[in-house]
Structures are given as structure tokens and as C-alpha cells.
Amino acid sequence: MYDYVIVGAGSAGCVLAARLTEDPDVSVLLIEAGPPDSIENIHVPVAFSQLIHSQVDWDYSTLPEPFANHRRVGLPRGKTLGGSSSINWMVYIRGHRADFDGWREEGCEGWGYDDLLPYFKRSEDNERGACEYHGAGGPLAVSEGRSRNPMTEAFLDACDQAGQLRNEDFNGAEQDGFGRYQVTMRDGRRCSTAVGYLHPAMSRPNLTVETFTQVHRVLFEGARAVGVQAARLGELRDFRAEREVILCGGAYNSPQLLMLSGIGPAELLTMLQIPVVADLSAVGQNLQDHAGTGWLWTHDEPVSLLSAMSDENVAQFAGEGSGPLTSNGVETGGFLRTGEHLPAPDLQYHVAGAMLLDEPIYEHGLTLAVYPVKPASRGSLSLRSADPTVAPFILHNYYAEDSDMQTIMRGMRVAREIAAQPALAPYTARPYDQPDSDSEQDLRAYIRRHTYTTFHPVGTCRMGADAEAVVDTELSVRGVQGLRVIDASVMPSIVRGNTNAATIAIAERAADLVRGVEPLAAVGERAATAGV
């Protein structure tokens, strides 16, 4: 028997396990379906691409996407300690003030920007030191990138030549502009939530971690969650929770597990012969993601990440923790709003000193990727089977709302303008599979053919004060007791930018809610009037 059973040792689960076990009188079981994060490629930043389709990836895919040429889009998700923070691109972006204030205005009291900023700061150990917007001394290392690829640096020069704004801190007073991304690394190596939060807590006697253990369902006595049933090495076991069960499986696995446990649309559950515990039609709905595409070029300059594994670079990484092996792939980029009427940026750019494609291309190249950061399209997730080992149906419905297509087309045209500047001329000699023109017809066809996810699914267990929300503003599941969901699935709407930092901040604040302690005080008027 444990006080808390946490399902999923990902970005949120590791935070919760570390924070809850700070109290020596509280016992916690953390369950992870995948292996420990001991694979070396997890910790070498540039090797992130080698983790896709590996044993540490759930390796999901969408149903045929109706507005993306009916293609099945691959959906990598971390299946190891640290979850997706162990396989992601390590870009540290919080989102825009308007994102969190939007949550609060929609009824999620306590989840505005001023409420969450103290938790962002508590999580951070920022290399730049503590200030109004940043924290130092927290578990999550946030640092400057130690790789300066000539192509990604040339991109910033091209932005200057194109008259675009520069931004030195996307998580400070303003988000707009282009610059270098800060990354979740320490000494040139990945700092996942497993590295930052979980590993330092593993020696605590009140924390138990079970890997290679897949949870099949939540156990109930009446309407109260009392534990979980899970399979480890083919053996079914029950793990009991005295206080609460907390789901941290992410935007795909948390709603799947709720439905497998009898919480979801009653009609679907009845059809699959799953006893209904709570009829919550919104479970699995409201699925959002950042989908995009990019321009690619090949060239003959031997400066891309294709040559990162040279003996010289390996020695530099081992000896100094720097060089191309510390690259997170997308070293530079930025945010752009395509209309003065917009309250915040509607586009994000990622610039990679490599060819970012589903299939490997063994040529030196450059990728300039674009995606809408506040998409209007919504997808859904549902059970394919009552068998917990069967992947769910996932349909993101990319570009179902044509406004998303219009936004990305505007972004692609701006990207091509930047790419045409003199600074990038050495690297844009040979366009790769680009359309003949920037006409709407050609751009639409290209985008539908080449759209991919940027690994940011959210929203399928939406938080809200309304009766239709899956969880309330304390992240407790409606209609039952003793069960919470704490991960990216509770976001009512997606944030502008990479979602990992926001997920960590949600888990930090949720840890205080679970412990029953007073939340950190919201920031004062000075920050409240700032630009972000």
C-alpha cells in the first residue's frame, strides 16, 4: 500500500514523484511502462533522432488525416523514465502570457500567467541566473546551447537582412522575434525531468519506481479510485493507493487509461463491454497539436549535423561537453505574428542544420520549419479495443479549420523571404522537393504532402470549471474520487511554443495542490504589466 500511485514517469510524473516524496511521511509508487533512461543516446543531445521508433518510443501514428492527403502521421512519445522529455528536442519555451491568461479567463482560476510564473521559476536552474522572469537553483537545467552550427547562425544574420526582430529571451518580456533557443541541458547533456527531478530523489526510502510495468486500468471501490492493475513481465499485479491515483500518461495515454477504467463516453464504453464508472463524453476530445512543415535545401558545405559523429566531435563532447554532439537539432528560430491585430505570435520557426524528414537523406542540408502556434483545428482520441496493449485511435484533424492552412502558408512565404537573403546563400543552392511557386494551390499541395507533428499533443482531459470539463481546476477527475490527471492533457488550449516547460510548471503547481499546501503567491503588479 502506498499513499500515492503515479502512472507515467514522464515530464509531469517525475516532477510529482520528486515533490511529493520531499515529505518523508508520504510513500509514492511511480510506474513506468518503458525501461530506465540508461540508453546513452538519450543523454547525447544530437542523437535524439535515433530514439524515434526505438524501445523508448510508444511509436504511435494518426489515422489517415483527411486534410493532409490521408497520410498517417507518425507520433513519437517517450516510453522511458523522463517520458517525452527524454526524447524531445530540448527547446525551453514556456508559451505566451495570453495562453495562460486565456485559461484563467475561461474559468481556470489559479492557472493564469501570474499564477504559473512562480512555478516556472521554481523549476528552473537557468544558466543566466535568477531575475524577474527566471529562476536559479531549481531541478531543471536551462542553458545556452553549446553548439553553434554555421547554418543556424547564418539564419539569424538573414533575419537581420530581412528586417526581422531579434529576441534574446523568448521567455522574458516579449516572445516576438528571432534568436537562439535556450535548451534543457546541463554541461552539454540532456536534462530530462528524470535527470533533473527523479534521479536525485531515487535514494529516498519513501519512493518506489517500477519500470517495464504497463498499467491496464484504475481500480475502483464504488466511485473511489483505490489503486491500479498493471502487467510486469507478463504478470498482472494490483498496486493500492491510500490517498490518490494520479495519471501522468500524457495526451494519448491518460485518456486511453481513463476509458479503459470506465471513465469516458458511456456509449463507446458499453460497446466495448467496459463497465461505466463515470460518463464523461469529453474524455479524448479537444486534441490539439502543433503541426507544420518546412523548406529544405541540400548543399556541398560539410557543416551539417550529418558529420556530427566525427572522432574530433566525439572527443570534444567527451572532454568539454560542447560541439556538434550537444546540438538539439533546432538551435535557432523564433516567433512571428502575421497581422498587427493579433494579440500574440501565430507562428513559430525551427531552424535545423540537417535534413528533417521522415526518411533519412544522407546529404548536407538545411531545414527551415514553420508551424501555427495557436491552431483552431481539433482532433480526438478513442479506444480501438478494450485490450490495454492495443494503441488507441488518434485523429488530429490537421487543417480541418482552413485558418490553420492560411496561417502556415503566410509563414512559409516569410520563411522563403528569409532564406533568399545573402547570409544563407551558401546553404540554399539546391531546393529539395519544393513547389514551383508560392501560389496558394502549390503551397496547399506541398503542406498537405509534407506535414508532420512537432510532438506537442495536449487537451484530451481538459481542465475547466464547467460541467463538460474532464478535470476541475484542482485536476481531479469529475464524477469520481481519489483520481487526478496531471500532464499536458489537462491544458484547455495549446500554448504558443514547445509544450514541455508548461507541462513541468503544471506539475509543479499540482504538487502543491495534492499536498494541500498554499500555492506560491502570484507575481506582483510589475510582472503583471509586462509584455508577455
pLDDT of residue 234: 86
Asked if pLDDT for residue 243 goes beyond 50, the answer is: yes
Q: Strands (DSSP E) along 84-212, which ranges?
A: 124-126, 140-144, 177-180, 182-183, 185-186, 189-190, 207-210
pLDDT of residue 532: 43
- Here the cell at position 113 is 500567467
Indicate which residue of 290, 364, 396, 456 is catalytic: 456
Q: What is the spatial distance between Cα 161 and Cα 178, in angstroms, rounded to a whole number? A: 12
Among positive and negative, which fits the CA dihedral 316, 317, 318, 321? positive
Q: Tens of pLDDT along 497-526? A: 999 999 999 999 999 999 999 999 998 643
Asked if pLDDT for residue 530 goes beyond 70, the answer is: no
Q: How confident is the model at residue 529 (pLDDT cuts 50, 70, 90)?
A: very low
Q: Is the pTM of this model over 0.75?
A: yes
Asked if pLDDT for residue 110 goes beyond 50, the answer is: yes
Q: How confident is the model at residue 204 (pLDDT cuts 50, 70, 90)?
A: very high
pLDDT of residue 362: 81
Domains (ranges, CATH) in the chain?
A: 1-62+73-110+128-143+183-288+381-386+457-493+507-532 (3.50.50.60), 146-180+291-372+399-450 (3.30.410.40)
CB atoms within 10 A of CB 369: 22
pLDDT of residue 360: 66
456 is an active site residue: yes
pLDDT of residue 524: 64
pLDDT of residue 458: 98
pLDDT of residue 527: 44
End-to-end CA distance of the chain: 45
Q: Tens of pLDDT along 287-315? A: 999 999 999 999 999 999 888 888 899 99
Pick from 87-91, 459-463, 519-523: least confident: 519-523
* Closest listed residue to residue 254, CA positions, set 483, 456, 82, 51: 483
Q: What is the spatial distance between Cα 275 and Cα 338, in angstroms, rounded to a whole number? A: 49
Q: How confident is the model at residue 414 (pLDDT cuts 50, 70, 90)?
A: very high
